Every structure is written in structure tokens, then in C-alpha cells.
Homo-oligomer: A and B are copies of this chain.
Amino acid sequence: MEKVYATIITIGDELLIGQVVDTNSAWIAQQLNAIGILVKQRISVGDDAREIMDALDKAAAISQAVLITGGLGPTADDITKPTLCAYFGGNLKVDEEALQNVKIIFQKLQRPLIERNLKQAEVPDNCTVIQNARGTAPGMWFEKMGVYFVSMPGVPFEMQGMMTDFVLPALKRSLTLPAVVHRTLLTAGIGESFLAELIQDWEKALPSFIKLAYLPNYGMVRLRLTATGYDKIKIEEATDKAFADLQGLVQDYLVSNVDETIEKKVASLLLRTGKTMSTAESCTGGYMAHLLTRHPGSSAYYLGSVISYDNSVKHDVLQVPEDLLKRGAVSEPVVVQMVRGVLEATGSDYAVAVSGIMGPDGGTGEKPVGTVWMAAGSREDIVTQQMHFRFDRMRNIELTSAHAFNLLRKFLLQENQA
């Protein structure tokens, strides 16, 4: 089977000084994988013509498609466009459609157009112009010696629009691509090594066209099967069989047999019964609420939260008695009362509450940094759990959130069975 490879080149000094985290590469890689294009390499270079050309040469030598982002802005350090123009031997000329687009955007923003912005409508005369429905800089599609080169803006929202509307369909038309099948499950409560032991015989027996990936994240491990081949029905059947066997092996730890986050799993359990939830957060400081509300449609099951960062808010808004707080806000009775208090305040059916010490300061001998109490439940019943994390502040916040959602998930499952 002939594999089709791509290389992703991200351009910009900001990537080399570390000012910006490159989220584009991961997003592009996911989209390419989904249509059967494997990513061979990802390269980031600065705003330097020679570096860019070297990267293009290398990429063309190992791949059939080269996806480039960045360096198309209006300022002097953005040199991707003239560099590509020189590399492919073209001349810059104004593209009328791109010019209209720039004019319309500035009209909408009620900003005056300056020379610098008009220049954004210039493109090499030997490329196919990719119009930008979400911004001013047009994209470019070149072909050279059987390799396709695509240049897109570095703004994720603009790049994603171009990929979806133009680039992915064009790549599908231009290349002969295999079928790709993904199956993913999420486990909790078992480490990567132990999981590997548990499934090692199954893993060894996998056919060669099915690959397994371990993807540990926030104390949970995601297992992903990827099968590639030209006989779609055959690989789908084989992957489904392998996936069913895998689910049997890990059933004690299985959170979900689709590729979703733990909060989405909680959401789907709530949607099934038409119930609602809220959160009462001390140490996670709104992060759990954010994880729920970043998903469209969350208003169907999520009512709101009380972020009781200060003890006064735990007392005044969540009705946690003062004497409990005096004995220690990171404690089982406090999180139980936080659940009760937020159920009362928001009127939700279920709630989850956390209180802990995320660090780097605030730890004591008895309660070191990483100590967390969490509670989840309803007006009738509440379950609790204590945990100890040993990471930095942000990771402790992420881990606390994931485990608190898992506690609520288990509670909801029990409820649904009862």
C-alpha cells in the first residue's frame, strides 16, 4: 500500500522565541490523519527566507503535500509570501477578489485602509488563490514536481476556515488516499504501564495495519486504534473486532468508548435523563465551569457555579458553617456542604464541589500542596473522595477537575442503575 505523507511547516520568529504555542500543527495533523494523509514531520522556522526555502526543499523530498502556516501578516517581518513567490518563480500581482475582501473587512470595522493592508491582496501569479472568508490575508496553493504546497495564515480561526472550505477537499481530489479508521476509548484509575501489561497479548496479536497509541492525560489514559488501508470494509471490520476485545479487557477502567473528554461524558449522562448540574469550586477557581461551557450546547445541562475562592463566599453564598471553615476549608464536611449549598443556590439536580491546595504555596505538614477533597451528589446522596497530586499549579488544577468530573460520572452511573 502506497502511503501518502505530508509535512507541516510553521513559520514565525514568535515560534522560535517561544512566545506562541503552536496549536495549528496539531489541528492540521488531526485533519490530515482523518482523510488518510500521514504527517511525516513538523518543522518550525523563523521569518528568514533561506530557512524557509531549506524547509521547503526538505519537506518536498519526503512528502506529497506540504502545509505551511504563518508569515502572511501586514508587517515587515512577514516574508512568507515574497519567499514563496521567489521559490516558485512567480511575480506578485493584485488578486481582485482578495482586494474586495480586504476592502469589505475594513469597511465593516470602520477603519481606514492603508497601503500596508492593500498589499495583502497581492499574490504570486503562478498559484491558485485561496480566498480568506475570515480575515484579510489570502492563502496560496502551488504545485511543483507532483508535490502540493499550501500556504495559509497563522491565525488559527482563519487557517481552519481555509482548510475546511478549500484545502482538505482539494487534497482529497488531488491525491489517491487510503481509508482511515479510528477507534478511541478512555480509561481512568489505571496507569500506563499496568494497562500495557493488561493488554499485551491482545496488542501483540493486532494485525499490522492497526496501530495502537497510548495517550495519557490528566491521570487518565486514552487508547487509540488507527487502521489504514484501501479496503475500507475489511479494515473497519477488523478494527471493530479488535476494539470490542479491547473494551472487554479494560472494562473495569472504561470511562467511554468514544473519543470524548470526561466532562463530555458527564454531559451525555445528564442529557440522557434531562437533568442539570452545577459546580462549587474553590481550588479549581472556575476551571471546571470553563471546561463545561467551552462546549456549545452546555446550557442544556449546566446551570451555573459558585466560585468560592474566599472562605467568606463559602459561608455567605454556599452556607458552609463558620465552625467547619475554621477547622479547615480543605476537608470532607466542607466539600459536602459546598455541594448542598450550590444545589440550593442554583436549583440544579446534581453538583460537584472541590477544595484543595494547588500550590506552590499554602501547603502544611498535615495538608501538603496537592491535597484535595471533592464531593459529588444530589439532594438525596453525596459521595466524597480525597486525592493527593504532586505537580505544578496548573496541572494540579487540571487533574483535580478531571477527577472531580469522574467522581460525578460514577455517581450518575449509580443513580441511573438504581
Residues in chain B near residue A44, CB distance under 8 A: 25, 41-43
Residues in chain B near residue A297, CB distance under 8 A: 361
Q: Is A49 an interface residue, CB under 8 A from the partner?
A: no
Whether A302 and B309, one on each chain, are in contact in the complex, defined by CB atoms closer than 8 angstroms, is yes
Q: Is A27 an interface residue, CB under 8 A from the partner?
A: yes
Copies of this chain in its oligomeric complex: 2
Whether B397 and A75, one on each chain, are in contact in the complex, defined by CB atoms closer than 8 angstroms, is no
Q: Is A417 an interface residue, CB under 8 A from the partner?
A: no
Q: Is A296 an interface residue, CB under 8 A from the partner?
A: yes
Instruction: Please report the C-alpha to C-alpha distance between residue A358 and residue B160 in the assembled complex, in whole angstroms.
Output: 18
Whether B39 and A17, one on each chain, are in contact in the complex, defined by CB atoms closer than 8 angstroms, is yes
Q: Is A253 an interface residue, CB under 8 A from the partner?
A: no
Instruction: Please report the C-alpha to C-alpha distance between residue A19 and residue B288 in the assembled complex, in whole angstroms.
Output: 21
With A297-B361, A308-B304 already in contact, the answer to whether A117 and B193 are too (CB < 8 A) is yes
Whether B285 and A289, one on each chain, are in contact in the complex, defined by CB atoms closer than 8 angstroms, is yes
With A285-B294, A316-B347 already in contact, the answer to whether A193 and B116 are too (CB < 8 A) is yes
Jot down 24 A-B pairs with beta carbons below 8 A, ordered by A: A14-B213, A17-B39, A17-B213, A17-B224, A41-B43, A42-B44, A73-B214, A74-B192, A74-B196, A76-B203, A77-B214, A111-B194, A116-B196, A157-B392, A276-B310, A286-B287, A289-B309, A299-B309, A302-B309, A304-B306, A305-B309, A312-B347, A313-B346, A316-B345
Binding site for B on A (CB under 8 A): 13-23, 25-33, 38-46, 51, 55, 58, 73-77, 111, 114, 116-117, 134, 156-157, 160, 191-194, 196-197, 203, 211-215, 222, 224, 226, 276, 279, 281, 284-290, 292-294, 296-299, 302-310, 312-313, 316-317, 345-347, 359-361, 390-395, 397
